[in-house]
Amino acid sequence: MKILNRLPPALQQSAIYALALAGAKGVSLIMVPIFTHYLSPADYGRLDVLQTLADVLSIVIGLGLAETLFRFCGEDTDQKASETAATLYGMSWIIALIALVITQTAAPFFTQHLPGDITLVQTRLILASLALSGTILVPLAWMRLRGKAKLYLWGTLGRTLFQAGLAALFLITGFGITGFVAAGFIGCVSLSIFVGYVQMKDTGIRFSLKSFQTYGPYGGPLIFAGCAGFILGSFDRWILAEAIGTAEMAQYALAAKFGLITAVLIQPFDMWWHAKRFHTLNAVNGPQECAKYASIAMVVVSTAVITVSCLSPLLITLLTPNSYHASIAYVPYLVLFAGLHNLTQTLGFGIYTQKTTKWPAFIDGSAAVIALIAYFNLIPIYGIYGAIIATFMALSLRFLMTFLIAQKICFIPYPYIKMITLSIYTVACVFVISSFTEPYLQILFALGSLVVLMLISLGFNFISLRKKSHEYA
């Protein structure tokens, strides 16, 4: 921590977020051999079905509160921002209580319609965890906005370690999937208590029904956009589970788990930048500064994509039984999808500058409709590759629509040609890496690719080795 204190504020915050995410992902990787040893591919597929249910309902229950906090608190004075955060925290608890009642009432319905023979107890546990999601997201977002990265680190990493320990214990003692989701529920309760204590001490809590009118027009459409994002990112596994069975679908689910490591490597920068971007845009030379940080984000994305493409096959081989190794073939596509998703959020920043988020909802909804049509037509014929083709079509459409509309709403002077060149280089590297069958050749080529990437980035002036006289905090 003493070394971190010597870094510029932006790097310091990003480094601490990186520690939190690296710790969480490190624990997740350690858990992979336990999962694959104590859960059959069919059981792993069932667990993924439950986790995808968690994905969509956490979006609905979260009500876009974290993004709403960034949007409104990022422009307020300190006192006003604290009042806004307290109000949004109160909203999160109102939503949590309503969600708990509704989801527990609907639990039998969910259980009946989920693929994979999920039990009612498993459904109730995952739904109870989800009801608390907003009460966790708002305090964590406030920590990020106020630069309290160390508190964020202790809260999230502590929850991860505690939950992983419980999950391992429950799996080893024979509780299977039920034990895993029980550990998740206990972890959610623990983290909600911790971040709630910090939030109450910092801003307190305010309850106001009028707040739903004030912040609903911004956060509300994000629910629809988030549900569309669920369709683009997870719904294909439900169709695959029905079409090819949970055992084969588990190969795709495991590849997706490793593909998401890409997002984890990108997130430290994102967690700092997304909390600061509205403030930056409104500052002197705001659009130019936003373009500069977007260029840095491009380098971060390319680095993460190439790194994960190289390491994932080796990790899958070392950490899982032979019955899971077929997942390696799908990793390159899912890694690139993760990178494309991030670039959509980063380069489409202008679309979130309005007082409403109707455009993201419309765009993501349109892409989701394309994805659904393609899933239902391609998956029964081509299986997992049908899901990959459908997802690529939808994500590409989403990126183009988001970028073009965002630039009309709030023009950011991105260096287009340079960004396109870097993107083509990255995609080419990923598929060349995947063509090698020997891990050491993949690693050697990836190392060379990263060196060339840094040289390109320096040549394009995306990054600089020169010491700055100041650093944005």
**Amino acid found at 161:** L
Per-residue confidence at 77, pLDDT binned at 50, 70, 90?
A: low
- The pLDDT value recorded for residue 102 is 87
Residue 471's pLDDT is 43
Across 204-212, average pLDDT: 81
Is 150 in the same domain as 244?
no
Same domain? For 229 and 204 the reply is no
**469 band by pLDDT with thresholds 50, 70 and 90:** very low
Q: Is residue 68 scored above 90 in pLDDT?
A: no
Question: Which range of residues forms the domain containing residue 421?
Answer: 224-473
How many angstroms separate the CA atoms of 97 and 163, rounded? 23
Picking from 46-60, 127-141, 166-180, which range would have the lowest pLDDT averaged per residue? 46-60
Amino acid at 46: R
Q: What is the pLDDT of residue 59?
A: 57
Mean pLDDT of the chain: 83
Question: Are 61 and 118 within one domain?
Answer: yes
pTM, entire model: 0.68
d(CA 396, CA 165): 39
Shared domain for 259 and 193, answered yes or no, is: no
Whether 217 is in a domain gets the answer no
Q: Tell me, yes or no, whether 366 and 459 share the same domain.
A: yes
> What is the CA 266 to chain-centroid distance, rounded?
10
Q: Is the pLDDT of residue 365 over 90?
A: no
pLDDT at 127 over 70: yes
Q: Say if residue 258's pLDDT is above 80.
A: yes
228 and 148, same structural domain?
no
More confident residue, 22 or 93: 93
Domain shared by 291 and 392, yes or no:
yes
Between 10 and 287, the more confident residue is 287
**178, 208, 238: which is the final residue of a domain?**
208
d(CA 449, CA 430): 10
The residue-averaged pLDDT of 125-130 equals 88
Give me the number of domains the chain comprises: 2
Does 470 score more than 60 pLDDT? Answer: no
Q: pLDDT, tens digit, for every residue of 326-357?
A: 899 999 999 999 999 899 989 988 888 877 77
What's the 3-state SS for the chain? CHHHHCCCHHHHHHHHHHHHHHHHHHHHHHHHHHHHHHCCHHHHHHHHHHHHHHHHHHHHHHCCHHHHHHHHHCCCCHHHHHHHHHHHHHHHHHHHHHHHHHHHHHHHHHHHHCCCCCCHHHHHHHHHHHHCHHHHHHHHHHHHHCCCHHHHHHHHHHHHHHHHHHHHHHHHCCCHHHHHHHHHHHHHHHHHHHHHHHHHHHCCCCCCCHHHHHHHHHHHHHHHHHHHHHHHHCHHHHHHHHHHCHHHHHHHHHHHHHHCHHHHHHHHHHHHHHHHHHHHHCCCCHHHHHHHHHHHHHHHHHHHHHHHHHHHHHHHHHHCCHHHHHHHHHHHHHHHHHHHHHHHHHHCHHHHCCCCCHHHHHHHHHHHHHHHHHHHHHHHHHCHHHHHHHHHHHHHHHHHHHHHHHHHHCCCCCCHHHHHHHHHHHHHHHHHHHHCCCHHHHHHHHHHHHHHHHHHHHHCCCCCCCCCCCCCC
Tokens of 427: 């995609």
Q: What is the mean pLDDT of residues 245-271?
A: 83
The pLDDT of 432-461, averaged and rounded, is: 91
Same domain, 245 and 198: no
Q: What is the pLDDT of residue 57?
A: 65
- Point out the domain boundary residue: 179, 208, 237: 208
Q: What value does the mean pLDDT take over residues 382-388?
A: 94
218 is a domain residue: no
Q: Is 330 domain-assigned?
A: yes
Contacting residues for 150 by C-beta, under 8 A, at least 6 apart: 1, 16
pLDDT in the model for residue 473: 41
Task: With respect to residue 319, please indicate whether it lies within any of the assigned structural domains.
Answer: yes
Write out the DSSP string of 269-319: HHHHHHHHHHHHHTSTTHHHHHHHHHHHHHHHHHHHHHHHHHHHHHHHHHH
Mark whether 261 and 349 lie in a shared domain: yes
Query: Are residue 203 and residue 241 in the same domain, yes or no?
Result: no
Under the banding of pLDDT at 50, 70 and 90, the label for residue 292 is very high
Let me know: does 232 contact 364? Beta carbons within 8 Å. yes
Separation of alpha carbons 268 and 297, rounded Å: 11
> Alpha-carbon distance 303 to 228, whole Å?
28
pLDDT over 70 percentage in the chain? 87
Do 239 and 189 lie in a common domain?
Answer: no
Kindly give, in sequence order, each residue whose CB lies less than 8 Å from that of residue 421, ignoring residues fewer than 6 positions away. 456, 460
| Of residues 15 and 383, more confidently modeled | 383
If we measure between CA atoms, which residue out of 223, 228, 224 comes closest to residue 369?
A: 228
Q: Examine residue 216 and state whether it is found in any structural domain, yes or no.
A: no
Residue 445's pLDDT band (cuts 50, 70, 90): very high
